[in-house]
């Protein structure tokens, strides 16, 4: 078989796992999905970021590492076989969402991508975007949606809303609903983590950020626990697809609930403890400054 036909067969295998079709174990490793609506934004964001890093020459390595890890996690969640597997197993679908909300979003925020991405643009575009961002209506909206309490509430509504059975099952039959779900999970989480991390550096202080992280761990943990301990299947659409993976629909749901409950709680609590440590260090620094001023 010549090289041309080998390549065509490989891409035929990649395309065989299509949204709406249920994945089986023998198809797993060839079930990569190259949806242009996902791949093009991923490639474009990577190009803008790394070209901006090159042009700037001053982006910290820690930021580059965080963005790179976050970008790769998006590939795992949205392009790898995990994506079509989520149409056969609720637990895989839940893993995909947790990657978006607990790995991709905080790492992308820590990568501070806006600075290098602006560097990648022509200077006239940068000035135009800077002027638009400073416009009072845009500034007011941004300040509102990134206020920690508002961002916290947005994430709560998005998380609980999409897990209502009617909405969740709609994502299994509609590409548009599925895309909207992923976009809202990632967007809400980006807002939340930006508010939490930047809130400690702005007018809110680390103490408030710690509180929002711990309360988020609580409400996401409650939803995970409800899914884990429920004795009925919330999402009947999975009834015909879990057996080939050696699970009953209820077992699959319970695993998904545990994924939401335990790892998510650990991430929120660890992030909260980290910010709590920064809060204590900041308090000690301010106390030392006050003591120094008083001793003069």
How many Cβ atoms are within 10 Å of 255's Cβ, its own excluded? Answer: 18
Residue 85 has pLDDT above 70, yes or no: yes
**Mean pLDDT value across residues 122-146:** 88
Which uninterrupted H or E stretch holds 193? helix 175-199
Cα–Cα nearest to 244, from 90, 95, 88: 88
> Alpha-carbon distance 39 to 25, whole Å?
24
Q: What is the pLDDT of residue 108?
A: 96
Radius of gyration of the chain measured on its C-alpha atoms:
22
What is the share, in percent, of the chain residues with pLDDT greater than 90?
A: 55
Confidence of residue 66 (pLDDT cuts 50, 70, 90): very high
pLDDT, tens digit, 9 for 90 and up, residues 7-54: 333 333 433 344 445 667 767 777 788 889 899 999 999 999 999 999
CB 38 within 8 Å of CB 82: no
Residue 168 has pLDDT above 50, yes or no: yes
What is the share, in percent, of the chain residues with pLDDT greater than 70?
A: 84
Residue 162 has pLDDT above 50, yes or no: yes
Report angle CA 83, 75, 238 to the nearest 5 degrees.
Answer: 10
Q: Please provide the average confidence, as pLDDT, over all residues in the chain.
A: 85
Residue 183 has pLDDT above 90, yes or no: yes
**Mean pLDDT value across residues 280-294:** 61
Residue 4 has pLDDT above 60, yes or no: no
Residue 3 has pLDDT above 60, yes or no: no
- Dmax over CA atoms of the chain, in Å, equals 85
Confidence of residue 295 (pLDDT cuts 50, 70, 90): low
Give the N- to C-terminal CA distance of the chain in Å, as an integer.
85
Q: Which of 96-100, 246-250, 291-295 is predicted with the least confidence, judged by mean pLDDT? A: 291-295
Q: What is the pLDDT of residue 256?
A: 95
Helix axes 148-162, 206-229, angle to 10 degrees: 10
Confidence of residue 202 (pLDDT cuts 50, 70, 90): low
Q: Which of 19-33, 73-87, 173-187 is predicted with the least confidence, judged by mean pLDDT? A: 19-33
> Alpha-carbon distance 51 to 21, whole Å?
38
Residue 67 has pLDDT above 90, yes or no: yes
pLDDT, tens digit, 9 for 90 and up, residues 100-131: 999 999 999 999 999 899 999 999 998 888 88
- Is pLDDT larger for residue 213 or for residue 296? 213
């Amino acid at each position: 078989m010549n090289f041309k036909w080998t390549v065509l067969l490989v891409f035929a295998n990649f395309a065989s796992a299509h949204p709406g079709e249920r994945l089986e174990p023998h198809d797993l490793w060839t079930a990569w999905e190259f949806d242009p609506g996902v791949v093009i934004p991923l490639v474009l964001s990577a190009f803008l970021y790394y070209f901006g890093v090159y042009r700037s020459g001053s982006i910290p390595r820690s930021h580059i590492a965080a963005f790179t890890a976050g970008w790769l996690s998006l590939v795992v969640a949205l392009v790898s076989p995990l994506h079509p597997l989520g149409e056969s197993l609720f637990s895989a679908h839940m893993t995909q969402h947790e990657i978006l909300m607990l790995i991709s979003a905080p790492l992308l925020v820590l990568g501070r991508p806006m600075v290098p991405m602006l560097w990648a643009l022509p200077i006239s575009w940068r000035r135009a975007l800077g002027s638009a961002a400073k416009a009072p209506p845009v500034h007011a909206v941004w300040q509102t949606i990134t206020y920690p309490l508002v961002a916290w509430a947005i994430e709560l509504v998005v998380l609980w809303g999409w897990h209502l059975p009617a909405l969740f099952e709609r994502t299994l039959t509609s590409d548009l609903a599925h895309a909207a779900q992923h976009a809202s999970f990632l967007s809400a989480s980006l807002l939340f983590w930006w508010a939490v991390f930047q809130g400690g550096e702005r007018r809110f202080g680390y103490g408030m950020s710690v509180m929002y992280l711990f309360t988020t761990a609580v409400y996401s943990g409650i939803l995970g626990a409800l899914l884990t301990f429920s004795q009925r299947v919330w999402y009947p659409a999975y009834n015909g697809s879990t057996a080939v993976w050696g699970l009953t629909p209820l077992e699959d749901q319970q695993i998904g609930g545990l994924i939401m409950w335990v790892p998510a709680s650990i991430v929120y609590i660890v992030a909260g403890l980290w910010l709590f440590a920064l809060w204590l260090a900041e308090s000690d620094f301010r106390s030392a400054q006050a003591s120094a001023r008083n001793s003069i």
